[in-house]
Amino acid sequence: MTQYLNQDQRTLLVKFLAYLGLVRWYNLLLIALAQYLASIFLLNKGEKVLHILADPGLHAMVLSCSMIIAGGYLINAFYDMEKDLANNPDKLIIGRIISKSFALNTYLLFNFTALAIGLIAGWPVVLFLCAFCFLLWFYSHKLKKITFIGNLTATFLSVCSFFIVCLYYWQLSWGIVLYVVFLVITELIRELVKDLEVIKGDILYGYATVPVAIGIPKTKRLLLFMMLGSLLPVIGVYKLQGWSVVMFFFLFALALLAIAGLLLWMAREKKDYNAVNNLLKFIMVLGVLSIGLV
C-alpha cells in the first residue's frame, strides 16, 4: 500500500501507527470489552442486552475512561523516555517519531475531552475520572519511583476501569470482589516481573523498584509467595458459589501461574522475564473474557 503514498503520506502513516502503539490501542479495546462484559453479565443480570446497550451513559463512561487511560499511557511514556532509551532504544517513540509537544498536547486533549464526555454518564463518573486522571499523572511523575508503592499503585490503576462500572451502576458483591482480587494479584505479579525485565534502566536512572531494592533472588521468592497467595481468592469464590463454571477458569489460570512460577525461577535474561510477562498477560486476557462466568 505504501507504494501508492508519497513521502509525506508515508511519514504521516508511520507516525499514526506509532501513536496507536504508544496509547496501546489493543489494551484500550480489551478494557472497553471488559467494561461491556461486566455491565451485561455481572451488574445487570436478567436485563436484556439490547436494553443495556441502549444506555448512552454506558457508552459515554466507556469512551471517557478509555481516553483517560490513553492519556495515562502518554504521560507515562513521556516520563519514561530516558529509561526506555536504556532498555528499549529501538522502541522509543516520543522524541524520535512523535514530538514531545505533540504527546503532551494530545494528553491534555484526551483528558479534557474525556471529562466533557463523562458528563453524559453523570457527576459521580466525572469525579471518579478526575481522581483517576490525577493518580495516573502522579504515578508517572512520582509514585512509580517509590519501592513497591509504585507497583501497588500501577496495579490499583489497572483495575480502576472495572470499578468505574460498579460506580456507574452502584452495584458490588463479594463474588465480584474476590474475582477482581485474583486479577489484582496476577497484575501485581506481572508488574514486578516487568521490573525484573527492565532492571538495567531502573538502576541507571534511579528507579527504586523492588528488584533494585532487595535484589533479584529475593524478588523471585516474593513473586512465588504471591503466586501461592492467589489461591486465597479462588478458595473464597468456591466457598461462596461452590463448584461453578468460573472454577474452570480459576483452575486453568492457576495451572498457568504454576508454569509462570517455574519459568520465573529458571529465568536469567531479559527474554526469559519477557516470556513470563507474556504468560501473565495471557492470564489477564482470559480473566477479562471469563467475566461472564462469575
| Grid coordinates given for 103 | 504527546
Q: How confident is the model at residue 87 (pLDDT cuts 50, 70, 90)?
A: low
Domain check: are 25 and 158 in the same one? yes
Domain check: are 162 and 209 in the same one? no
Residue 179 belongs to some domain of the structure: yes
* 70 pLDDT higher than 90: yes
Query: What local confidence, expressed as pLDDT, does residue 265 receive?
Result: 93
Query: What local confidence, expressed as pLDDT, does residue 294 receive?
Result: 63
Domain check: are 192 and 267 in the same one? yes
Query: What local confidence, expressed as pLDDT, does residue 19 receive?
Result: 86
Query: What local confidence, expressed as pLDDT, does residue 29 receive?
Result: 92
Q: Write the pLDDT tens digit of every residue in 208-265.
A: 788 888 889 999 999 999 999 999 999 998 888 778 788 899 999 999 999 999 999 9
Query: What local confidence, expressed as pLDDT, does residue 90 receive?
Result: 67
CATH number at residue 47: 1.10.357.140
Domain check: are 59 and 115 in the same one? yes
Q: Write the pLDDT tens digit of every residue in 110-124.
A: 999 999 999 999 999
Q: Which range of residues forms the domain containing residue 193?
A: 173-294
Query: What local confidence, expressed as pLDDT, does residue 293 receive?
Result: 67
CB 60 within 8 A of CB 121: yes
Domain check: are 204 and 128 in the same one? no
* Average pLDDT over every residue of 157-184: 85
Residue 3 belongs to some domain of the structure: no
Residue in this structure with the C-alpha cell 498477560, named with its chain if needed: 281
Query: What local confidence, expressed as pLDDT, does residue 3 receive?
Result: 61
- 248: nearest Cα among 238, 240, 258: 238
Q: Give residues with Cβ within 8 angstroms of 196, minimum separation 6.
A: 211, 216, 219, 220, 267, 273
Residue 182 belongs to some domain of the structure: yes
> Which of 172, 204, 234 represents a domain boundary (last residue)?
172
Domain check: are 159 and 221 in the same one? no
Domain check: are 205 and 149 in the same one? no
Residue 2 belongs to some domain of the structure: no
CA distance 285 to 30: 8
> Which of 110, 141, 172 represents a domain boundary (last residue)?
172
Q: Write the pLDDT tens digit of every residue in 194-206.
A: 889 888 777 777 7
- 260: nearest Cα among 250, 275, 271, 247: 275
Mean of all residue pLDDT scores within the chain: 87
Domain check: are 18 and 124 in the same one? yes
Domain check: are 111 and 224 in the same one? no
Greatest extent of the chain over all pairs of C-alpha atoms, in Å:
63
CB atoms near residue 44 (< 10 Å):
17
Residue 198 belongs to some domain of the structure: yes
Q: Write the pLDDT tens digit of every residue in 121-166.
A: 999 999 999 999 999 999 998 888 788 888 888 888 888 888 899 8
CA distance 236 to 106: 43
CB atoms near residue 3 (< 10 Å):
5
Domain check: are 147 and 249 in the same one? no
Cβ-count burial 261-288 (b if 16+ within 10 Å, e if not): beebeebeeeeebbbbbebbbebbeebb
Query: What local confidence, expressed as pLDDT, does residue 86 receive?
Result: 66
Residue 206 belongs to some domain of the structure: yes
> Which of 155, 172, 189 represents a domain boundary (last residue)?
172
CB atoms near residue 185 (< 10 Å):
19
Kindly state the percentage of the chain with pLDDT values over 90: 42
CA distance 246 to 201: 39
CA distance 63 to 204: 37
* Average pLDDT over every residue of 178-184: 88
- 195: nearest Cα among 140, 147, 158: 147
CA distance 241 to 230: 17
Total of domains in the chain: 2
φ/ψ of residue 212, rounded to 5: -70, -40
Query: What local confidence, expressed as pLDDT, does residue 150 receive?
Result: 83
Beta-carbon-side half-sphere exposure of residue 91 (alpha carbons within 13 Å): 9
Domain check: are 147 and 188 in the same one? no
Q: Write the pLDDT tens digit of every residue in 20-35.
A: 888 888 889 988 998 9
Query: What local confidence, expressed as pLDDT, does residue 199 receive?
Result: 83
Query: What local confidence, expressed as pLDDT, does residue 288 receive?
Result: 82
Domain check: are 57 and 179 in the same one? no
